[in-house]
Amino acid sequence: MRGDDSHHITPGGPCREAELSVESLADGGDGVAHFQGRTVFVPLTLPGEVVRASVPEWRAGVTAALVEVVRPSSERRPAACPLYGECGGCQWLHASEDVQRSWKTGRVRRVFSQTMGETCPEIPPVEEVPPVLGYRRRTVLHAADGILGFSARRSHRVTEPGGCLLLEEPLRLAVREMAAAVKSGMQLPRGCADVSLAGDGSRTAAAFHFERRPPADALARLTALTRHTGIAGAVICVGGAAVGTIGKPLLRWPAPGVPGASLLGRPDLFAQAHLRAGELLAGIAAEAIPEGDRVLELFGGSGTLTLAASRRAASVTSVEICSPALTLARKAADEAGITNVRFQAGDSLRTAGHLAAGGERFGTVLLDPPRAGAKGIAQAALAVGARRVVYVSCNPATLALDAAALRRTGFELTSIRCLDLFPQTAHLEAAAVFQRGESGSSDGALHDR
């Protein structure tokens, strides 16, 4: 059968069309096959399928272009998005959610087993988190050749965004309006390569990103564009730093675990993508904190976990290197009347060392680091005297590496929950709890405490 995958980009250089049997899925979600002794990655395929693909001939470990699914898997389904196969945003619209979660569970178990060996505990299955479409509240668009849209699959080209199925409805409409405006002649100022969009369910804000100082007419042109498209406000960023605002770009979401309070955000700052992520992750983290504990939060961001943690803890010291995010977290805490949180600017792991050197001690270390993980977290937790580490992660591979390091320094993994907060993609979130001194069961089985 030919269909949603037949327009996939053909790799450059000489290629040979071949029939391949897909054996498994790679970490990025591509199918894995073999051809003439070489490993070949075939996007948009599933294990057990027989496909025809255009295979580059010049090196090993290549990515082929899918031409035709000769014998489809019973788990294959029609991809609902007309851009699927061309847009690079989704890997698995062709796969059932059961297949996606099964693969994600296997991946978490594999990376933990590889890093922890015989000490690896049993990892529970990845949990479904509805909705599986229309869940994203933020996205990034790229500008090229007069088009504002998403990156094409494995290409520097830009595709028109259409009606992305992963986006929450108000954000989907805002993306469509802005892309249409740019296409119709309201061009972005020279040097604006990316536009971040985020919404809170009722309002949408944008961030326009420049590598260098924008031209003199940038403010007027971007103001006209935001007004034309109904964007509530925008942030102008140069080299990653905010240098100006248009309208009111501040967004508000209900603060998990703190009735009546709000989390504050901006489109240029990190926020959880799935509309239920904050609620679930903050709930798991807060529940893992012993009542009345002193908490050191690292990579605190704009307070997604902070406010919920403050309801359980005697005190929270929240460390974040991004000053605008820290400012929003402090403002959210002030608005909520929360007085037991101390906010501190700085590199998280270095600041933990400074606090330890100053004699400060904490019962729990809470962290939500970037994808690169938190190398050195085991030493930092020991230095501040922590008996518990609560670790939220978007990357199982770096979580497993840090888990192994924590294990070597006396912290046992006592619980872990893996949440499918990125349906239709190969990503997930996990929340793990480590305990020092009083540990898990002697046979290595995982249990909740």
Annotated catalytic residues are 394
Alpha-carbon distances of 174 from 168, 204, 224, rounded to whole Å: 10, 7, 15
Report strand pairing: 192-199 vs 204-210: antiparallel
Cβ–Cβ under 8 Å, residues 373 and 401: yes
Cβ–Cβ under 8 Å, residues 319 and 298: yes
Cβ–Cβ under 8 Å, residues 196 and 188: no
Measured at the CA of 364, the angle between CA 114 and CA 434, to 5 degrees, comes to 25
SS3 227: helix
Q: How far apart are CA 296 and CA 122, in angstroms?
A: 28
Strands (E), 49-169: 50-56, 62-63, 65-71, 127-128, 138-144, 147-151, 158-159
- Neighbouring residues of 357: CB distance < 8 A, sequence distance ≥ 6: none
Q: How far apart are CA 225 and CA 181, in angstroms?
A: 8
